Structure 1
Amino acid sequence: MRAVICKEFAPYQNLTVEEVEDPVAGPGQVVIDVKAAGVNFPDILLVEGKYQMKPPLPFTPGGEVSGTIASVGDGVQGFKAGDRVVAATLLNGFAEKVVTAANQVAPIPDSMPFDEAAALITTYATTIHALKQRAGLKSGETLVVLGAGGGVGTAACQLGKAYGARVIGCARGEDKLAAAKEAGADELVDYDGEDLKARLKELTEGKGADVVYDAVGGNYSEPAMRALGWGGRFLVIGFAAGDIPKMPLNLALLNSRDIRGVFWGAWAGQFPQENGQNMAELFELYVAGKIKPMVSASYPLDDVTKAFDDLMQRRVKGKVVLTA
């Protein structure tokens, strides 16, 4: 089979696509014929050695896949060859086949295309955990989404609306704002052309927002934090802007605001039952038409660097996927 190979921690342009041996399912494992694999910013950090974990070299990146079961190992129940599934693999997803633990696999609805399924796991699972378990978002509250035109941002807009929140989507430029609007944002803020704090205060009539969902970091975090009202919750999702902000802690004291970290992968490992319930809810919301992953482009494995370029150049509206 063919797979993307990272031989050294280096710029992602050094990745190669090579022939490797097909994986074999061990006890408790399944092999999946990969139809699509979601591409995420942490994949770039992994191959460049900038992530909080460093896999042994060489390795194949790719943490989320969709496809069909090719074979099952001893002791696996509930799956058979031909089943349509998604899987959170952490690694090895950018390949024609992948082996993974059966407890990391979930069936997908027959109505769900493989590219949308591959775009669901990381962004929507992170977001549902953020809004439910971390923020406790309630119907009628105001949710501010930074980076609202990207993968997790569009997921946050859709899930926020599904939970009955008023969603303010913040992004840079007309294309990203249009993606946020398509994802359900009620109000839009261009944080390159507007005073973010002042505009958020205006849109909330001085009350302030209830929840900020921040996947961007950089210069946008502090003004968004200052726009939170009493008891507001600031969700730390990631730092797509590249800079980790140094937040003045007095902002947490004022208005009794909370700063809450969101690390879905670690939480899912500790609470697999609750994570499974979240995933089941996501598929129910999809079938009900309340969420729909936005895929802006699909590339073959050979064009993995083009997919990463799309992310780095901020051309992605929603998600980009690789197809095997």
Structure 2
Amino acid sequence: MRAFQASELGSLAKFRIEDAGAPNPGQGQILVSVEATALGFVDQLVMRGLYQVKPPVPFVPGGEIVGTIIALGEGVTGFEAGQRIACWQFGGGLAEQAVAAAEHAVAVPDGLEPQIAAAALLDYLTAYYGLYDRGGLKPGQSLLVTGASGGVGSAAVQLASASAATVIGLASTDEKREFVSALGASRVIDYRDANWRDLLKREFPSGVDMVFDPVGGSLFQLCFRSLAKHGRHLVVGFASGDGIPSLPANLPLLKSGELVGVDARYLWESDPARVRQILTIVLELARSGQIRPRIARTFDLADAAEAVEFVTVSNRLGKVVVTP
């Protein structure tokens, strides 16, 4: 079995395609023939040893996996050989075969392409959990999305638009703004414009109901200031790379507002049943065409190193997917 792996973390150059022993499913596990694995920014952080969790080595990256079941481990029920499943886990996908925990696996609806299913996993799980479980977004409310052309930002734009919210996206270039508009945003604003908050205020004089923020950085406080009374600011990540922003404590008081953390990894660890529910909803939305995860480029497993590098391209629009 071919696998893209390394015996130590710290550099992308340490990872290469190697012949690895075929894995065996243990208690509660499923063995799948991998059909597609989606990659995100966090994958290369893990490979470099820069993520807060360090996996055991040898390590195979890629945790957004879709494949067909080959074998079931002891105690697994509800699945059968030949069935296509999807799961998100901590690595293992950049290989011809992968082992997954049955408690984290969901069936892929008939008619949904494996590449699209893989691209709909982590980003859409995070966005859905943030918008609805943590944020309580309702139809007709207004939502401001930072990094709206990025993976989790674009997922939030599509999910919120599909549920009849009014979505305002922030994006930096004409290409990105066109991309976000095509996803369903009602309005897309160039946040590099010094007067972007004035443009927002013209349409939403009282402020927006919610901010979905995977960027942080210099936009963080400005977005919180753009909230309406009783608004919620969802803290999803810090993709700006400018460190962890801070917020004067008087602002939540003045807004009667909430700062709400969104940690999909904690949900995965603490409530796998809810993760399965959300992924089942997301995959059905993708099958029905109500959302359509965008794929920037698909790579063969032999080009996995190039795929990981492509994840870091700043002007990339859409998900990176690897197929064996």
TM-score (ref. length: structure 2): 0.95
Residue in structure 1 matched with residue 207 of structure 2 by the alignment: 208
Number of the residue aligned with 2:220: 221
SS at match of 1:218: coil
Distance 2:112 2:284 in 1: 12
Which residue pairs with 1:31 in the alignment? 31
Q: Which whole-Å CA distance do the structure 1 matches of 2:90 and 2:195 have between them?
A: 38
Shift of 1:6: 3.0
Moved more, 195-204 or 26-35: 195-204
- The one-letter code of the counterpart of 1:241 is S
- What letter matches 2:56 in structure 1? P
Q: Following superposition of structure 1 onto structure 2, how do residues 44-83 of structure 1 map, counting pairs within 5 Å?
A: 44-83=44-83
**Helix, strand or coil: the match of 1:131?**
helix
Task: Say if 1:242 and 1:253 are closer, same or farther in 2 by CA, change over 3 A.
Answer: same
DSSP 3-state at the match of 2:224 = helix
Aligned partners of 2:28 and 2:76: how far apart in 1?
Answer: 5
The answer to whether the 8 Å contact 2:104/2:272 transfers is no
Gaps of 5+ in 2: none
Q: Matched residue of 1:94: which SS?
A: coil
Partner SS state of residue 61, structure 1: coil
Which residue of structure 2 aligns with residue 15 of structure 1? Answer: 15
| RMSD (Å), alpha carbons | 1.6
Aligned partners of 1:145 and 1:157 also within 8 Å = yes
Q: Given that residues 33 and 96 in structure 1 are in contact (C-alpha distance below 8 angstroms), is that contact kept between their aligned partners in structure 2?
A: yes
Following TM superposition, where does structure 1 have runs of at least 4 consecutive aligned residues deviating by more than 6 angstroms?
none
In the alignment, what sits opposite 2:115?
115
Secondary structure, counterpart of 1:269 in structure 2: helix
**In the superposition, relative to structure 1, how do residues 179 and 258 fare at CA in structure 2: closer, same or farther (>3 Å)?**
same
Retained in 2: the 8 A contact 1:179–1:318?
no
SS at match of 1:193: coil
Distance of 2:221 and 2:196 partners within structure 1: 10
The amino acid that maps onto 2:145 is V
Determine if contact 2:63/2:93 at 8 Å carries over to the other structure. Answer: yes
Tell me if structure 1 keeps the 8 A contact 2:295–2:318.
Answer: yes
Change (3 A) 1:269 1:89: same
1:246 to partner: Cα distance: 2.2
Cα distance, 1:194 vs. partner? 4.7
Contact 1:196 1:224 in 2 (8 A): no
Deviation of 1:247 (Å): 2.4
Contact 1:152 1:318 in 2 (8 A): no
Structure 1 residue runs without a partner (length 5+)? none
Q: Which amino acid aligns with 1:68?
A: T
Q: Judge which range, 249-258 or 178-187, deviates more.
A: 249-258
**What amino acid sits opposite 2:124 in the alignment?**
Y
3-state DSSP class of the match of 2:218? Answer: helix
Q: How does 1:160-175 map to 2 (within 5 A)?
A: 160-175=160-175
The SS at the match of 1:59 is coil
